[in-house]
Amino acid sequence: MERLPRSQRNPYLLISGVSGYILLAAFVNIFPPDALWRIALFIIAFTASTGLLIQYVLRRIQQSILLGFGLALFLVLRFFGLRSPVYPALLIACIVAIEILWKRK
């Protein structure tokens, strides 16, 4: 997959990512995390905003999707109380392995 030249970055990705974080901050301040659907909505919004910003910075869709879902999975693990340092290490190893598999194709 080829990178785009510096001048061809899409500014809408940056605007959408930053706006997503602003809306996410407002959502966290307005609604308490007492319902499961609110926590799920937070994780989905965080994944989308992070994916958009990573896509703007790295200019690669596959890596932004992979890192966005990796961060979402990390948040889900933390939500369920799995706080051992082994889990993030395994998650990073899985992300690197999937990236290597995608590059070989």
- The number of distinct structural domains making up the chain is 1
Mean pLDDT of the chain: 89
What confidence score (pLDDT) does residue 6 get? 59
Q: Is residue 23 part of a domain?
A: yes
Query: Does the residue 1 lie in any domain?
Result: no
Domain that holds residue 70: 6-104
3-class SS string, the chain = CCCCCHHHCCHHHHHHHHHHHHHHHHHHHHCCCCCHHHHHHHHHHHHHHHHHHHHHHHCCHHHHHHHHHHHHHHHHHHHCCCCCCHHHHHHHHHHHHHHHHHHHC
3-52: per-residue pLDDT in tens? 656 567 888 999 999 999 999 999 999 998 899 999 999 999 999 999 99
Q: Which of 72, 79, 84 is nearest to 33 (CA)?
A: 79
Residues near 47 by Cβ (< 8 Å), separated by ≥ 6?
68, 69, 71, 72
In a domain, 25, yes or no: yes
Average pLDDT of 55-59?
Answer: 90
Phi, psi for residue 52 in degrees, rounded to 5: -65, -45
